[in-house]
């Protein structure tokens, strides 16, 4: 007779630790020093200044990068102007499309290299740069390449014209993706570009610039000037720039808008957010947990459309928070190059300090904090995934953008209350609604003052779908047919 | 064994179809897209070196090595039991499987062939695979396989009754089968390929657990699709909710269609990151499979030697 023991509990459970599974960095070969990409080549800056860019997961220097001064920005804009007047502007749209398609294909071919570099320079988990960022980057170039020779069909009855030279300033949270969102539609609409990548994440933009040269893109069509805020200011205020596109903080966005007041420059802004995630009692709870986790911990919460405020219907509040806490304990925080890492490094020391300051304010204002007791690496900038419960609308952590892995949880009783609280912010970029009741999704979506409303999902992006803000989250749309508008003159003046 | 008193907390005292309907309507709904995305994300985990070897070993120890064919014979069953005990005759470090799973007629042969090995004998019952017979006959069959020495009984639910909303009929059959099992361990097959929606899977899981199932199991293997990762995730989430509500731990068995260790690895990842360490044991998780074992053995050989061996080096019993 076989042994019978019901239930059998004779076997020790396996405590399954995942061995390190590091993506190799060998695929990336970096120069010690990078110049500015002007007129189709990397050249030393006239400013003669360089600054280091580091790996935020180890604090080791990756390369020295040029800091563009006024003379450099002048050169870049002049190169872009010449290319616009002589080459790119007059070029047949179908020819422009060929270059953009070629760039898209080359991004795909080199996506592993670019993903690794994105992770090294920015700190995001390799699984995200590999599976999310780079596929979307290539997708945006393919998508806008397709529009390049069909612009009159995008706006029937109108013969659209390009604007000229576009000055674009992008942030450090999605360096390649924000580049793609801006460069692809600008080029497809016939403009030339001066791009200023973020100070802490300049490397993929420089490698991309070299890639466009390999693709044969005519010199001057794309220029990349690296540097800090001062360089960005030189780009956006330059007299010969026709169009400014900025993604970054609301404070800087307001500054740019006031600087451009009274000029003929066109402006689009993608600014901060304090996205609301609203969970109703009848929601698919376990999938909602995943949506909330993805909404706030994707890319360490360095996402302008992050769902950083969670509103849970009171009747399921405790149960939902318990599920969230349990899920937080399974998040793997650490080396961004490990393929199993869920939460990587905070992008910079300055950002880490900002997160710490706001979390301290949450504590002192009386909200209850929960963090898993996972081990953090000893070097580099890391922060534990964090939940705050018992948050009130009047707490700073419910009002200010933290831009880190920190979720503020509030409760509501009725749909009207949920709408009122969710909209009670100067921002209006994103919102998530979780309910199985279709009519309620539509009712809510009508009332949420947010540029993007997701239903029973979150953080979904597609090149064909426009993205942008309400209120102090900015104006203008990127992505889709709407994304072309920011780079075209429809002759409406 | 009767219904554990702890379970009364999820169900009213007097159980009827209306009370069960109310109970099941309280089960959270499932978003199919979200569930699929979650398992796809977990499937990208990269398991290497010693963590891979530990998982391969556990896959064997969690296996219900199965033969459920009309052409089964005592000879076939006895050979499979030998394989179950010593999966790789050239390597004594390879563990035995958890159990063998056979048709009712084959139970006496399996019991004899596994005597003294510690391998359990599981028998399908309740007019497997359709379950379309009279409840009394199903109970009789259950009693017979237990009397013949089966340690575990894999029953099928009445899918037709479930889909028709006759929840008490389903509940009552599970409860009576559990009583008929005595000390044997009851696994309740939901046949998720016929329930079709994940909402149904989640409700049927709760019903089976409330009625006394020790394990819930995806499939008979006779219906396509059999086990899938989203279905398994949803059943594991139901197990978690049931454990939260009652303190009762219930086991999980995906069965059918899991043929490679790469597939099985994904199931272990979903298990580990949904229910955690307490379920990472053959006491609470089983793979129902027939061809998975040799693929796991090949992977272990590869881990040890760095080379893939021909399938001819592994026994086919």
pLDDT digits (tens, 9 = 90+) for B28-84: 999 999 999 999 999 999 999 999 999 999 999 999 999 999 999 999 999 999 999
CB-CB under 8 Å, A339 with B45: yes
Mutation choice for B interface testing from A14, A125, A277, A324 by most B CBs within 10 A: A14
Chain A stretch 418-457, residues whose beta carbon is closer than 8 A to a beta carbon of chain B: 436, 456-457
Task: Work out the mean pLDDT of chain B and round it to a whole number.
Answer: 94
- Strands of chain B, DSSP E: 63-66, 99-102, 120-124, 152-156, 185-189, 215-217, 251-253, 287-289
Q: Does A340 reach chain B within 8 Å, measured CB to CB?
A: yes
Q: Which residues in chain A are contacts of B235 at CB distance < 8 A? A: none
CA neighbor of A467 nearest in space, from A323, A305, A295: A305
Helix (H) or strand (E) holding A396: helix A396-399
Give the pairing type, strands B287-289 and B251-253: unpaired
Using the predicted structure, report yes or no on whether residue B5 has a pLDDT greater than 50.
no
Comparing alpha-carbon positions, the chain B residue that sits nearest to A285 is B28
Query: Which of A149-163, A319-333, A471-485 is predicted least confidently?
Result: A149-163
Percent of chain A surpassing pLDDT 90 = 95
Q: Report the gap between the CA of B81 and the closest CA in chain A (Å).
A: 13
pLDDT confidence of residue B3: 38
pLDDT confidence of residue A492: 64
Q: Which residues in chain A are contacts of B277 at CB distance < 8 A? A: 13-16
pLDDT digits (tens, 9 = 90+) for A94-125: 999 999 999 999 999 999 999 999 999 999 99
Using the predicted structure, report yes or no on whether residue A73 has a pLDDT greater than 90.
yes
pLDDT digits (tens, 9 = 90+) for A203-255: 999 999 999 999 999 999 999 999 999 999 999 999 999 999 999 999 999 99
**B115-120 long-range Cβ contacts below 8 angstroms, 24+ apart:** B115/A1, B115/A2, B117/A2, B117/B81, B117/B84, B117/B85, B118/A2, B118/A3, B119/A2, B119/B81, B119/B84, B119/B85, B120/A2, B120/A3, B120/A8, B120/B151, B120/B152, B120/B185
Using the predicted structure, report yes or no on whether residue B184 has a pLDDT greater than 80.
yes
Using the predicted structure, report yes or no on whether residue A5 has a pLDDT greater than 90.
no
**A476 — alpha (psi -120 to 50), left (phi > 0) or beta?**
left
Using the predicted structure, report yes or no on whether residue B2 has a pLDDT greater than 50.
no
The pLDDT of A306-330, averaged and rounded, is: 97
Nearest-by-Cβ selection for A282 from B29, B44, B249: B29
pLDDT confidence of residue A90: 96
Nearest-by-Cβ selection for A8 from B30, B273, B283: B283
Three-state secondary structure call for residue A145: helix
Q: What are the two backbone dihedrals, phi and then psi, of residue B139, each rounded to the nearest 5 degrees?
A: -65, -40
Q: Which residues in chain A are contacts of B48 at CB distance < 8 A? A: 19-21
Q: Does B272 reach chain A within 8 Å, measured CB to CB?
A: yes
pLDDT confidence of residue B7: 44
Task: Work out the mean pLDDT of chain A and round it to a whole number.
Answer: 96
Q: Report the gap between the CA of B36 and the closest CA in chain A (Å).
A: 10
Nearest-by-Cβ selection for A1 from B52, B149, B282: B149
The pLDDT of A52-64, averaged and rounded, is: 98
The pLDDT of A10-16, averaged and rounded, is: 89
- Judge whether B86 and B297 are in contact, CB under 8 Å: no
Nearest-by-Cβ selection for A12 from B45, B46, B281: B281
Using the predicted structure, report yes or no on whether residue A171 has a pLDDT greater than 90.
yes
Helix pair A93-109, A203-214: axis angle to 10 deg? 120
pLDDT digits (tens, 9 = 90+) for B89-110: 999 999 999 999 999 999 999 9
Q: Does A2 reach chain B within 8 Å, measured CB to CB?
A: yes
Q: Which residues in chain B are contacts of A6 at CB distance < 8 A? A: 1, 183-185, 214
Q: Quickly count helices (H) and strands (E) in chain A.
A: 17, 20
Comparing alpha-carbon positions, the chain B residue that sits nearest to A322 is B244
Q: Does B38 reach chain A within 8 Å, measured CB to CB?
A: yes
Q: For residue B14, what pLDDT band results from cuts at 50, 70 and 90?
A: confident
Interface A–B counts its CB contacts (< 8 A) at: 119
Using the predicted structure, report yes or no on whether residue A493 has a pLDDT greater than 70.
no
pLDDT confidence of residue B6: 39
Comparing alpha-carbon positions, the chain B residue that sits nearest to A8 is B283
Which of A23, A67, A199, A304 is flagged as catalytic? Answer: A304
CB-CB under 8 Å, A12 with B35: no
Q: Does B4 reach chain A within 8 Å, measured CB to CB?
A: no
Using the predicted structure, report yes or no on whether residue A157 has a pLDDT greater than 90.
no
Using the predicted structure, report yes or no on whether residue B9 has a pLDDT greater than 60.
no
Q: Which residues in chain A are contacts of B51 at CB distance < 8 A? A: 16-19
Give the pairing type, strands A386-389 and A368-370: antiparallel
Cα(A65)–Cα(A121) distance, integer angstroms: 12
pLDDT digits (tens, 9 = 90+) for B269-317: 999 999 999 999 999 999 999 999 999 999 999 999 999 989 999 998 8
CB-CB under 8 Å, B55 with A19: no
CB-CB under 8 Å, B33 with A457: yes
CB-CB under 8 Å, A436 with B46: no
Cα(A256)–Cα(A173) distance, integer angstroms: 20
Comparing alpha-carbon positions, the chain B residue that sits nearest to A436 is B29
Give the pairing type, strands A60-66 and A50-55: antiparallel
CB-CB under 8 Å, B34 with A291: yes
Q: Which residues contact B202 (CB under 8 A, 6 or more apart)?
A: B27, B28, B29, B30, B234, B235, B237, B238
A304 included as an active-site residue = yes
Using the predicted structure, report yes or no on whether residue A360 has a pLDDT greater than 90.
yes
CA neighbor of A169 nearest in space, from A267, A89, A72, A43: A267
CA distances from B306 to B3, B159, B299, B309 (A): 51, 47, 10, 10
The pLDDT of A460-485, averaged and rounded, is: 96
Q: Which residues in chain A are contacts of B249 at CB distance < 8 A? A: 7
Nearest-by-Cβ selection for B58 from A6, A14, A291: A14
pLDDT confidence of residue A3: 40
The pLDDT of A290-311, averaged and rounded, is: 97
Q: Report the gap between the CA of A209 and the closest CA in chain B (Å).
A: 31
pLDDT confidence of residue A117: 98
Cα(A318)–Cα(A464) distance, integer angstroms: 38
Chain A stretch 250-309, residues whose beta carbon is closer than 8 A to a beta carbon of chain B: 282-288, 290-291
Q: Which residues of B are catalytic?
A: 154, 217, 253
Nearest-by-Cβ selection for B115 from A1, A19, A456: A1
CB-CB under 8 Å, B48 with A8: no
Give the pairing type, strands B215-217 and B251-253: parallel
CA distances from A394 to A304, A422, B261 (A): 21, 13, 53
Q: For residue A6, what pLDDT band results from cuts at 50, 70 and 90?
A: very low
pLDDT confidence of residue A1: 35
pLDDT digits (tens, 9 = 90+) for A335-346: 999 999 999 999
CB-CB under 8 Å, A4 with B48: no
Q: Which residues in chain B are contacts of A4 at CB distance < 8 A? A: 151, 183-184
Q: Report the gap between the CA of B50 and the closest CA in chain A (Å).
A: 7
Q: Does B31 reach chain A within 8 Å, measured CB to CB?
A: yes
């Amino acid at each position: 007779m076989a042994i019978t023991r019901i239930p059998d509990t004779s076997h020790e459970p396996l405590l399954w630790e995942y061995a390190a599974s590091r993506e190799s960095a060998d695929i990336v070969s970096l120069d010690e020093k990078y110049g500015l990409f002007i007129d189709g080549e990397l050249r030393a800056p006239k400013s003669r200044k360089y600054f280091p860019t580091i790996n935020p997961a180890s604090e080791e220097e990756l390369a020295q990068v040029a800091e563009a001064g006024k003379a450099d920005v002048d050169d870049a804009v002049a190169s872009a102007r010449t290319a616009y007047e002589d080459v790119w502007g007059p070029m047949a749209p179908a020819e422009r499309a060929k270059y953009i398609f070629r760039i898209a294909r080359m991004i795909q071919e080199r996506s592993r290299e670019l993903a690794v570099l994105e992770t090294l320079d920015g700190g995001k988990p390799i699984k995200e740069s590999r599976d999310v960022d780079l596929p979307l980057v290539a997708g945006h170039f393919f998508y806008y390449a397709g529009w390049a020779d069909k612009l009159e069909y995008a706006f029937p009855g109108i013969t659209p014209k390009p604007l000229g030279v576009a000055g674009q300033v992008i942030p450090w949270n999605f360096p390649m993706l924000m580049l793609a969102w801006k460069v692809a539609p600008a080029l497809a609409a016939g403009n030339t570009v001066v791009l200023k990548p973020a100070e802490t994440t300049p490397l993929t933009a420089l490698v991309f610039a070299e890639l466009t040269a390999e693709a044969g893109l005519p010199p001057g069509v794309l220029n990349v000037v690296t540097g800090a805020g001062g360089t960005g200011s030189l780009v956006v205020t330059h007299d010969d720039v026709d169009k400014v596109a900025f993604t970054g903080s609301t404070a800087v966005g307001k500054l740019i808008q006031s600087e451009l007041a009274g000029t003929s420059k066109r402006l689009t802004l993608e600014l901060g957010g304090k996205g609301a995630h609203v969970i109703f009692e009848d929601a698919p709870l376990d999938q909602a947990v995943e949506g909330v986790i993805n909404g706030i911990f994707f890319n360490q919460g360095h996402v302008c459309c992050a769902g950083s405020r969670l509103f849970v219907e009171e009747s399921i509040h405790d149960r939902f928070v318990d599920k969230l806490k349990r899920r937080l304990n399974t998040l793997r925080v650490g080396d961004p190059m490990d393929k199993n890492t869920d939460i990587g490094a905070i992008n910079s020391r300055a950002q880490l300090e900002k997160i710490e300051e706001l979390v301290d304010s949450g504590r002192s204002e009386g909200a209850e904090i929960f963090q898993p007791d996972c081990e953090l690496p000893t070097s580099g900038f890391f922060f534990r995934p964090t939940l705050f419960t018992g948050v009130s609308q009047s707490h700073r952590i419910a009002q200010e953008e933290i831009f880190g892995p920190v979720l503020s949880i509030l409760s509501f009783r009725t749909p009207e209350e949920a709408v009122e609280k969710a909209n009670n912010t100067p921002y209006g970029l994103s919102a998530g609604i979780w309910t199985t009741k279709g009519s309620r999704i539509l009712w809510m979506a009508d009332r949420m003052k947010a540029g993007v409303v997701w239903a029973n999902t979150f953080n979904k992006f597609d090149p064909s779908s426009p993205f942008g803000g309400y209120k102090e989250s900015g104006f203008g749309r990127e992505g889709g047919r709407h994304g072309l508008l920011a780079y075209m003159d429809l002759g409406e003046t | 064994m009767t219904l554990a008193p702890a379970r009364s907390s999820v169900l009213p005292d007097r159980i009827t179809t209306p009370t069960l309907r109310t109970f099941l309507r309280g089960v959270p709904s499932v978003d199919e897209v979200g569930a699929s995305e979650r398992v796809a994300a977990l499937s990208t985990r990269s398991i290497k070196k010693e963590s891979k070897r530990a998982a391969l070993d556990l896959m064997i120890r969690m296996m219900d090595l199965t033969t459920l064919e009309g052409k089964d014979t005592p000879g076939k069953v006895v050979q499979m039991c030998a394989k179950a005990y010593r999966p790789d005759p050239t390597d004594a470090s390879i563990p035995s499987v958890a159990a063998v799973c056979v048709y009712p007629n084959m139970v006496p042969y399996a019991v004899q062939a596994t005597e003294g090995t510690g391998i359990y004998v599981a028998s399908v019952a309740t007019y497997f695979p359709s379950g379309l017979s009279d409840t009394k006959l199903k109970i009789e069959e259950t009693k017979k396989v237990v009397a013949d020495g089966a340690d575990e009984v894999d029953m099928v639910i009445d899918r037709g009754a479930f889909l028709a909303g006759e929840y008490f009929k389903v509940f009552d059959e599970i409860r009576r089968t559990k009583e008929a099992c005595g000390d044997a361990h009851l696994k309740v097959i939901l046949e998720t390929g016929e329930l079709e929606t994940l909402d149904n899977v989640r409700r049927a899981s709760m019903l089976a657990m409330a009625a006394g199932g020790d394990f819930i199991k995806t499939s008979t293997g006779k219906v396509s699709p059999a086990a899938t990762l989203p279905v398994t995730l949803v059943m594991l989430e139901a197990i978690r909710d049931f454990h939260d509500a009652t303190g009762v731990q219930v086991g999980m068995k995906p069965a059918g269609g899991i043929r490679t260790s790469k597939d099985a690895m994904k199931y272990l990842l979903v298990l580990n990151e949904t229910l955690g360490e307490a379920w990472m044991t053959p006491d609470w998780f089983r793979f129902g499979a027939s061809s998975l074992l040799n693929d796991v053995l090949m992977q272990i050989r590869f881990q040890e030697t760095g080379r893939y061996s021909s399938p001819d080096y592994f026994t086919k019993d």
